[in-house]
Structure 1
C-alpha cells in the first residue's frame, strides 16, 4: 500500500490512447511518447484512507495537457484491451517520480476495469499485482504481462506496482 506521506501528495494520471497497438508497442521499460489521441486524461483524486487506493476523474483539453506536461509526472504503466499488448490502450502516469518500494495502488475504473487484458510497466516499476471484483489478487508478476490470466481478464479493479 502507498505510505501515508506519499498519499498526501500522490497524483496519478491516465492518458487515454485509443489507437490500436500491435506488437510494435514500446519495449519493456521504455517511456511512452506523444499525446493522447482523444485529448483526455484521468486525474487522481484524494486517496481513499481505508483502502489506500487512488480514484480517477477525466480531464480534457488544456487541463489534460497541463497534467501530463508537469516535470514530476512520469509514466508508470500502460494497460491494453487485449492479450499480447494489443487493442486500445491507456497510459498510467504518476506524480512525484517513478515507482519506489511503496509504489502506487490505483483503482482501474471504468471502462478499463471491464477491458484490461495485458499491461506494460515503465521506469522503476518492476513488480505488480492485479485484483478482480471478487477480491482475488494475482501475485508474483514481474515486468510486462502479456496476459493478466483468466480470472482477471476484463475484470481488473485494482492495479498496484512498485520497484525492486
Structure 2
C-alpha cells in the first residue's frame, strides 16, 4: 500500500509540475504573439499650410499593408512615401505615407517624423511626382532649419528610390519636405 501511495503522489506531483511549467510557457507565447510589432503602418497626411507641417489625418498599423491601408482610410489617397527602418528595407519594416490632397506639386507635403521612426530612418522611396525630398534633422515649424540633405530624381519615373540616405542623415531624420521638382 505504501508503494502505491508513493507512486500516486509522484504521479500527481509530476502532473502538477508539468501543468505549472506549461502554463507560463503558453502565457509567454501568447504575450509574444500579442506584442509582435506590426510590419506595415500607414499614415495619411493632408496638404500643409505654408511653412507648417502637413496635418496627420489618420494612421493604422497591421501585419500587412492592405489591412493597414484600409484601417487608416487610405484607399482613396495616393502613396507618397515608404520609410525604411534599415537600408534597402532589409529586414522589412515599413511605414507608408499617403496624401489625401493628391500627387506632389511644387509646395508638396511637409511631414514630421514621429514616434519610433524619428531618428531611425535609413532609407525611403517617394512616389506620385514627389521627386525632390529634403530630410531635416531638427525641423523648426517656422523655418524648417537644421541639418538637412536633399535628394532628387528628374528621370521619367516621377519617383525617388533612396535605399540608403547616406552616412550624414542615417538615423537622423525628423522631418521630410517632399515635392515635385
TM-score under structure 1 length normalisation: 0.63
2:90 alignment partner, one of 74, 77, 86: 86
Check 1:69–1:58 CA distance in 2 against 1; reply closer, same or farther (3 A cut).
Answer: closer
Question: 1:67 & 1:100 partners in 2: Cα distance?
Answer: 22
For residues 3-82 of structure 1, the aligned pairs below 5 Å read 18=39, 36=40, 41-44=42-45, 51-54=51-54, 56=56, 58-59=59-60, 65=71, 67-70=73-76, 73-82=77-86
Larger mean CA deviation between 59-68 and 122-131 belongs to 59-68
Structure showing the higher strand proportion among its residues: 1
Q: How many pairs are equivalent? A: 126
Equivalent in the alignment of 2:26: none
Mapped partners of 1:138, 1:146: distance in 2: 15
Offset, 1:64: 5.5
Render the CA deviation track for 1:41-60: whole Å, top value 9, x for unaligned. 4344895x684112546446
Describe the superposition over 1:57-91 as per-residue Cα deviations: whole angstroms up to 9, x where unpaired.
64468995252122xx1001111011123231111
1:132–1:151 contact (8 Å) kept in structure 2: no
CA distance in 2, matches of 1:82, 1:100: 28
The match for 2:174 is 157
Output the CA distance in 1 between the equivalents of 2:81 and 2:69.
21
Quick check: which has more Rg, 1 or 2?
A: 2
1:106-152 residue CA offsets vs partner (Å, 9 max, x unmatched): 00111111311001111211111101138111024332112112231
- The higher-RCO structure (CA 8 Å, 6+ apart) is 1
Q: 4+ residue stretches of structure 1 with deviation over 3 A?
A: 40-47, 55-64
Counterpart in the other structure of 2:120: 115
Q: Partners in 1 of 2:47 and 2:102 — Cα distance? A: 18
TM-score by length of 2: 0.58
